[in-house]
Chain A
Amino acid sequence: MHERFAAAARLLPDYLGQHVLLSAAALSLGFLISLPLVVLASRNARIRWPVLGFASVVQTVPSLALLALFYPLLLAVSAGWAKLFGHGFSALGFLPSLLALTLYSMLPILRNGITGLTNVDPAVIEAARGVGMTNRQRLLRIELPLAAPVIMAGVRTAAVWVIGGATLSTPVGQTSLGNYIFSGLQVEDWVSVLFGCLAAVVLALVADQLLGLIEVGVATRRPRLAWLGLGVLLAGVGAAGVGSLAASGQQAYVVGAKNFAEQYILAAVMTDRIHKAGSAATARVDLGSVFAFRALANNGIDAYIDYSGTVWTTVMNRHDSLPRKEMLREMAVQLRRAHGVVLLGALGFENAYALAMRRDQAEALGIRTIADLARHAPELRLGGDFEFFARSEWAALRDRYGLRFREQRQFQPTFLYKAVASKAVDVISAASSDGRIRAYDLVVLEDPLQVIPPYDAIVLISPARASDPVLLRALRPLVGAIPIDAMRQANYMVDRDSDRISPNQAARWLESEIHVN
């Protein structure tokens, strides 16, 4: 408990700093865009409802979806940009998060701003015209100062929304306090999840109070109070900027990881090896499966581990099946040609999609293969992770074996094994390298028709680092060095219910186990 708390606390400067910078940037940008819109809409009733309507619609889009939508959009823009100016920009991380949160922050500012400006006493407006103010003077000297407290109240609401929403920027590759929550959820480290939630709550409360100070200062015309609030706020953002600048200065290499234990462990192994080679490296974890490859191809990350079958189907859009060695060879050529990505080699184990069920039930029903399963499927319930049912492997399995289940349910990967162990479902989509298969006494069903392609764990290197001697020297020894048993054991150490250790500790264990120098 203490150890995990300490581990979480060590990450705080980086996570909090990035979270603060992102939130402050989004809020400032949202404010700067909203203010002119507020002025226009308050003067012109005809554009008032489209402006408010648009902001309201944005608000109804779930924030995670909004963040995810900006990624393909920016990817397209980046591609166009690259054509015009020679090089693109990263469609991952800060930019999509900033844009989505900016949009998110605008509704309360717009709504309060328009209410504030349109509710200024008409007698005061008449007097302002009567004493000879121009429209601009009336806005700056009368309307904005009088509406300022209402506008500030809107900014406060927006700040709380943005700080909360920023925790969801982790899956698009932006470091934030959400890293505690997403990683913690994956490995069932509830200390980490709680730590992330509390940090976000405290940050939101502090920001809200400081903005409240400005609001009170503005409303009661005590400029010193408002300046105090603004000063502390800016000092906080400045400190976050200095902190993350210092952190980014030493981030020579960035290793990516998807959102499950094996990926965390392997990312930790890779960063450790780069450290030992004398260079700085950080891990960017919790990337969505497709995000990870795009990030690599755009040089947003320098290296990560993917699985041959995944790349074959989702990146290369291939639906045929080749023997293992030929597939890897062809993949290396294609990735290099189409994306500039280097396939360094396979680690030595496979993490394939498989169907697994409780041993006792499988034996009772006499099921050993997926063909056996097909006969009993109409009485059984199937559980899969979010990705599984959308993947072509599932479609192929279903069609080739004629699988028809009584019920299909989706689970977060962490809960999937619990679901089958607790008999909430009977069959699950499992990963063949997962330590929990043995721990929960599950059996992996054979695939006699070889519908599922090989899923060798492979090391991929970004185009920019394709011939980087430090990186290649650090990672090449891992090729062919990790057997399935070692990987399963390491995964289990992180995933099991008791005596759980952190991915970093599991990485140390794995390194000592495989004797790589």
Chain B
Amino acid sequence: MIRFQGVSKSFAEGRDFAVRDVSFEVASRAFVALVGDSGSGKTTLLKMINRLIEPDQGTVSVAGESVQGMVGYSLRRRIGYVFQGIGLFPHMSVAENIGITPLLLGWRPAEIEARTAELIDLVALPRSYLNRMPSELSGGQQQRVGVARALAARPSIMLMDEPFGALDPVTRDTLGSEYRRLHETMGLTTVMVTHDVMEAVLLGDRIIVVRQGEIVADGEPQELVNVHPDAGVRALMDMPRRQAERVRILLQERNRRA
């Protein structure tokens, strides 16, 4: 579905590589989590898929076709994009925000209205919210609208850049698992950037670890934890388990003392 072939991207006139000779493929209906520290190049990789960033070398293709040959804005209308900044249009109502891509694609108003209603149900917000302005919503509700907006034109690919990173932990967990269900039921292909290993393990079928612009690990979560040759990767992937273990021990000690 998505394919990177020898892709490089440098900033600061070639001295500093953001991405160095990266190749990988994402199968249709896969849920891939791109994990890495800030500055590792994971967001650059994601944005090269919908041409928000152009590679210096190599090709990125979607559905067998190089994205370089496509018109940028047409490509982006076919791909859902959700990011940490949310970026709802503050001067448009929730309904207008959700319906923007269909509008740009020239859908008929009745179609747009039906689709908007369908989507507000899908992201579990009351229909009365359609007439609200973004500023009247909480952060979590805003990102639900953000997800609905990305899904509006029925894309088959969703790109998500730290989508729930700015939300409180409970909302973040709820939204994450709800999105995972949408991913399943709608048959989407999702690439999600996160620096949170826990989120990556809980949501992704496959995890790609990026370090200094290169892929250092790629596989299913349990595979990376147990058998990966790189000790750093094993330690990283094992972190959720170790943290859970520490929480369990702490709670036991507290209980014993009490």
Binding site for B on A (CB under 8 A): 121-134, 137, 141-142, 145-146, 221
Q: In the complex, what distance in Å separates the CA atom of A133 from the CA atom of B91?
A: 16
Q: Any chain A CB within 8 A of the CB of B77?
A: yes
The answer to whether residues A127 and B77 also contact, given A132-B104, A133-B104, A137-B104 and a CB cut-off of 8 A, is no
The answer to whether residues A130 and B76 also contact, given A123-B85, A123-B86 and a CB cut-off of 8 A, is yes
The answer to whether residues A145 and B91 also contact, given A130-B50, A131-B76, A132-B77 and a CB cut-off of 8 A, is yes
Residues of A within 8 A of B85 (CB): 122-123, 126-127
Q: Any chain A CB within 8 A of the CB of B52?
A: yes
Q: In the complex, what distance in Å separates the CA atom of A132 from the CA atom of B78?
A: 8
Q: Are B83 and A133 in contact (CB under 8 A)?
A: no
B160 nearest CB across to chain A (Å): 11
Question: A interface, by DSSP: helix, strand, loop or mixed?
Answer: helix
B189 nearest CB across to chain A (Å): 17
Q: Any chain A CB within 8 A of the CB of B87?
A: yes
Which interface residue of A127, A128, A137 has the most chain B CB atoms within 10 A? A127
Among residues of B, the one whose C-beta sits closest to the C-beta of A145 is: B91
- Identify A130's interface contact among B74, B83, B90, CB under 8 A: B83
- Identify B81's interface contact among A125, A131, A141, CB under 8 A: A131
Q: Any chain A CB within 8 A of the CB of B24?
A: no
- Identify B89's interface contact among A122, A128, A132, A134, CB under 8 A: A128
Q: In the complex, what distance in Å separates the CA atom of A11 from the CA atom of B107?
A: 59
Quick one: CB contact mask for B67-78 with A, threshold 8 Å, 1 for yes?
000000111111
Q: Any chain A CB within 8 A of the CB of B3?
A: no
Q: Any chain A CB within 8 A of the CB of B8?
A: no
A312 nearest CB across to chain B (Å): 67
Q: Are A142 and B76 in contact (CB under 8 A)?
A: no
- Identify A131's interface contact among B74, B77, B86, B90, CB under 8 A: B77
Q: Any chain A CB within 8 A of the CB of B175?
A: no
User: 30 A-B pairs, CB-CB below 8 angstroms?
Assistant: A121-B87, A121-B90, A122-B85, A123-B85, A123-B86, A123-B87, A126-B83, A126-B87, A127-B86, A127-B87, A127-B89, A129-B76, A130-B50, A130-B76, A130-B81, A130-B83, A131-B76, A131-B81, A131-B100, A131-B101, A131-B150, A132-B73, A132-B75, A132-B76, A132-B101, A133-B73, A133-B104, A142-B89, A146-B90, A221-B91
B146 nearest CB across to chain A (Å): 8
A141 nearest CB across to chain B (Å): 8
Known: A123-B83, A127-B85, A132-B74. 16 other contacts (CB 8 A): A121-B87, A122-B85, A124-B90, A125-B87, A126-B52, A126-B83, A127-B81, A127-B87, A128-B87, A129-B73, A129-B76, A130-B83, A130-B150, A131-B150, A132-B75, A142-B89
Q: In the complex, what distance in Å separates the CA atom of A126 from the CA atom of B86?
A: 9
The answer to whether residues A134 and B73 also contact, given A127-B86, A129-B52 and a CB cut-off of 8 A, is yes
A364 nearest CB across to chain B (Å): 80
Q: Are B52 and A130 in contact (CB under 8 A)?
A: yes
> How large, as a class, is the contact surface on chain B?
20 to 34
Residues of B within 8 A of A145 (CB): 91
Q: Any chain A CB within 8 A of the CB of B88?
A: yes
Q: In the complex, what distance in Å separates the CA atom of A123 from the CA atom of B165?
A: 14
Residues of B within 8 A of A133 (CB): 73, 104
Residues of A within 8 A of B87 (CB): 121, 123-128, 130
Q: Any chain A CB within 8 A of the CB of B149?
A: yes
Residues of A within 8 A of B149 (CB): 131
**Contacting residues of chain B (126-154) with chain A, CB-CB under 8 angstroms:** 146, 149-150
Q: In the complex, what distance in Å separates the CA atom of A128 from the CA atom of B73?
A: 10
Q: Are B83 and A131 in contact (CB under 8 A)?
A: no
Residues of A within 8 A of B89 (CB): 124, 127-128, 141-142
Residues of A within 8 A of B81 (CB): 127, 130-131
Residues of A within 8 A of B52 (CB): 126, 129-130
A285 nearest CB across to chain B (Å): 51
Residues of B within 8 A of A127 (CB): 81, 83, 85-89, 146
A260 nearest CB across to chain B (Å): 57
Q: In the complex, what distance in Å separates the CA atom of A146 from the CA atom of B89?
A: 9
Residues of A within 8 A of B76 (CB): 129-132
Q: In the complex, what distance in Å separates the CA atom of A137 from the CA atom of B101?
A: 12
A-B residue pairs, 8 tightest by C-beta: A127-B87, A123-B85, A132-B77, A130-B81, A123-B87, A132-B76, A132-B73, A131-B101
Residues of B within 8 A of A132 (CB): 73-78, 101, 104
Residues of A within 8 A of B73 (CB): 129, 132-134
A332 nearest CB across to chain B (Å): 70
Residues of A within 8 A of B86 (CB): 123, 127
A10 nearest CB across to chain B (Å): 49
**Contacting residues of chain B (158-194) with chain A, CB-CB under 8 angstroms:** none
Residues of A within 8 A of B74 (CB): 132
Among residues of A, the one whose C-beta sits closest to the C-beta of B91 is: A145
Q: In the complex, what distance in Å separates the CA atom of A126 from the CA atom of B149?
A: 14
